[in-house]
Structure 1
Amino acid sequence: MESPLSKSGNTSPAKSDINQHSLGVADLKLLRVFKTVVEAGGFTAACNELNIGLAAISKQISDLEIRFGMKLCTRGREGFYLTEHGKVAYQACLDLFSSINLFRDKLNHARHELFGELNIGIIDNTITDPQSPVICGLGEVYRQAPKVNIRLHATQLDEIERGVIDGRFTCGIMPVYQEKPEFDYFFLYHEMAYLYCGDKHPFFSVPAQEIKESHIKSSQMVNHFYANHSKKNIFSGVTTPHAIAVQVEAVTMLLMTGNYLGFLPEHYASAFMGGNKLRALMPDNIEIATPFSLVVKKGAPFNSVLNLFFSALKQALIPRPEAKAS
């Protein structure tokens, strides 16, 4: 059932003076529903996140529009999108919940118990990296602060950056190809990448000693769009790649056609090397180390929950002494 105030058209809800009423618990609940719908990209996508039906979401958004006296969003055949009022309301919503979290954090600090949310944006396809401290860090946050609500979003680099800037993500954990002035960076570890070919490529069966750098430079290359390493150009005779892929998985698929060479993270490629699907070329000479950092909005303070998470990440990176043989 469509919310009458969320359908396409020029009809606007009757104006309401928000100052006449203070925000209450019911308003905060409606705002959380609105925030979830926006971040999910629509009413239908938000159903699973909120664990309620489409009709219930429509009614709550309609109630919020009536409460605020403004049309917030449109959905229908044109798709879901925010009105100009909706964009302002969403940003105000982020600011409001950020302030609530800060208030909660100060009280938690006073009574030495952590609550609140930890929203993390992390680059996809990093779960197989043994250098990554993220799993240990998350486990330690749960151990020390089980009442903290952790929300982990595995996504692409530009989405992490947008989420950190607009406040959807408390922090991001991502590769850093070039530092940007909008962020503060806290280094964690390096991800190693090597040059690979697929099992259908002519180089796959060539003895290692016969493969020369000149052969590499004359080969067709696939470029991982986000992995903007200037060092990659050293190993390529062309400034424009012959194929471009956005995700690591897409790079791998192109390599497996047998037509291209390309860089992949070592931890990701190792699963395919075991099945003789990929081969690293000149690994002693051609490698790229990409720094991974915890990233926050420039000047943003670390609350207690983020401090705990960052400390847990750093602790997980400390090498453990090997057990002595008995």
Structure 2
Amino acid sequence: MQTADVDIRQIRVFLAVAQCGGFSAAQDMLGLAQSTISTEVAALEARLGYVLCRRGRGGFQLTPQGEAFVLDATTLLAALSSFETNVAKRRKQGLGAVRIAIIDNLVTDPICPLIPALDRFHGHTGGRAHIALDVLGPSEIEHGVASGRIDLAIGIFAEPSPQLIYHPLYQERDVLVCGRRNALYDEADDLELFSRIRGAEKVVRSFLRLQDFFFLSDQRDSITAQVDSVEAAALLILAGHHIGFLPDHYARRWIEAGDMRILLEKSYTRTSKMTLVHRQDASKLSTLASLLIGELLRDASQTPMKRLTFAD
């Protein structure tokens, strides 16, 4: 068949389904609803003219044609990635390209080492390296690194993959907050606030696997919203009906403006480990990727792990 852009998208969706072992399991990795994934795979099967997988009560299973297609499609995407990299290399007179991914809203964190590392990287390369920098969800990041589409990434990874190498960089501190419109905003009594927090509507970041509210294992029904990004959580909190954890550096602007309030900071503060991830086989890393990884790890060794509280 003649390959078009839509086919490449559908191929990526199907490979994610095959890697995860089913449509439902692929939702987090792809950031798509199960119905959308099913539609994409069905369209691909119609384009190919044969069935790639069986799904139903018996569970998910690749057909023989599906197994062969996975091998062919993986080869195709690897070749496409190599083509894109080679094109990028020529833009910068042969120095090459480095492909980076990060989770959202690292830029407001003053202790994130990426900015100074990129500054030094630019100095080492004389600005002759092509940089591709994307903001993605943790599952998509890990999938991209494992497949070779991403050289290195920074994020929060709740369930590390054995195929990848993880280096702790620093800790991000999260505080529990509500918006000005929330009924908890004006509650002055700590004991009453403690009691009301348990039943308040909550928003969680899906990639943390409910680690946001680890202390509420008996009240999961109060979690009424799940999001894939910090910005989405902030929007719901500002709307006034949900409480949730936000990184302190990100929430600071609204806290200082009086649009958010920290709830029982000494009781409900948590940390997330910010981690650098790359492929396990270091020999497959480009010289540029290895250079930037070295700069990031250099800063990590000098970064304090303790965060100041707002009271400090």
Normalised by the length of structure 1, the TM-score is: 0.64
Of 51, 54, 77, 1:90 maps to 77
SS in structure 2 opposite 1:187?
A: strand
- For residues 71-110 of structure 1, what are the structure 2 equivalents within 5 Å? 88-94=75-81
- For residues 133-212 of structure 1, what are the structure 2 equivalents within 5 Å? 133-145=113-125, 146-207=127-188, 209-212=190-193
Residues 211 and 282 of structure 1, relative CA distance in 2, 3 Å threshold: farther
1:268 lines up with 2:255 in the alignment? no
Unpaired stretches in structure 2, ≥5 consecutive residues: 12-42, 49-68, 305-312
State the identity as a percent.
Answer: 23
Q: Distance in 1 between matches of 2:47 and 2:153?
A: 25
SS in structure 2 opposite 1:243?
A: strand
Q: How big is the shift at 1:297?
A: 2.0
The answer to whether the 8 A contact 1:121-1:153 is kept is yes
Residues 238 and 254 of structure 1, relative CA distance in 2, 3 Å threshold: same
Residues 88 and 311 of structure 1, relative CA distance in 2, 3 Å threshold: closer
Letter aligned with residue 195 of structure 1:
L
Residues 304 and 86 of structure 1, relative CA distance in 2, 3 Å threshold: closer
Bigger radius of gyration among the two: 1
SS in structure 2 opposite 1:204?
A: coil
Letter aligned with residue 131 of structure 1:
I
Letter aligned with residue 181 of structure 1:
P
SS in structure 1 opposite 2:168?
A: strand
Q: How big is the shift at 1:142?
A: 0.4
Q: How big is the shift at 1:224?
A: 1.3
Range that drifts further, 231-240 or 214-223: 231-240
The answer to whether the 8 A contact 1:119-1:169 is kept is yes
1:122 lines up with 2:102 in the alignment? yes
Deviations 1:259-279 (A, max 9, x none): 221111111111211221111
The answer to whether the 8 A contact 1:213-1:235 is kept is no
**Structure 2 partner of 1:304:** 287
Unpaired stretches in structure 1, ≥5 consecutive residues: 8-33, 42-77, 105-113, 321-326
Residues 218 and 97 of structure 1, relative CA distance in 2, 3 Å threshold: closer
SS in structure 1 opposite 2:161?
A: coil
Residues 149 and 211 of structure 1, relative CA distance in 2, 3 Å threshold: farther
Q: Distance in 2 between matches of 1:229 and 1:178?
A: 12
**Structure 2 partner of 1:31:** none
**Structure 2 partner of 1:226:** 207
Residues 255 and 200 of structure 1, relative CA distance in 2, 3 Å threshold: same
Letter aligned with residue 298 of structure 1:
Q
Q: Distance in 1 between matches of 2:114 and 2:210?
A: 24
Q: Distance in 1 between matches of 2:80 and 2:303?
A: 42
The answer to whether the 8 A contact 1:217-1:236 is kept is no
Deviations 1:243-294 (A, max 9, x none): 2222211111111222221111111111211221111111112111111111
Aligned length: 242
Letter aligned with residue 290 of structure 1:
S
Letter aligned with residue 271 of structure 2:
A
Residues 82 and 277 of structure 1, relative CA distance in 2, 3 Å threshold: farther
Deviations 1:113-140 (A, max 9, x none): x922110011111110112111111111
The answer to whether the 8 A contact 2:204-2:245 is kept is yes
**Structure 2 partner of 1:62:** none
Q: Distance in 1 between matches of 2:116 and 2:256?
A: 26
**Structure 1 partner of 2:299:** 316
Residues 303 and 157 of structure 1, relative CA distance in 2, 3 Å threshold: same
The answer to whether the 8 A contact 1:195-1:261 is kept is yes
The answer to whether the 8 A contact 2:176-2:244 is kept is yes
Q: Distance in 1 between matches of 2:227 and 2:76?
A: 36
Q: How big is the shift at 1:307?
A: 2.6
Q: Distance in 2 between matches of 1:273 and 1:159?
A: 31
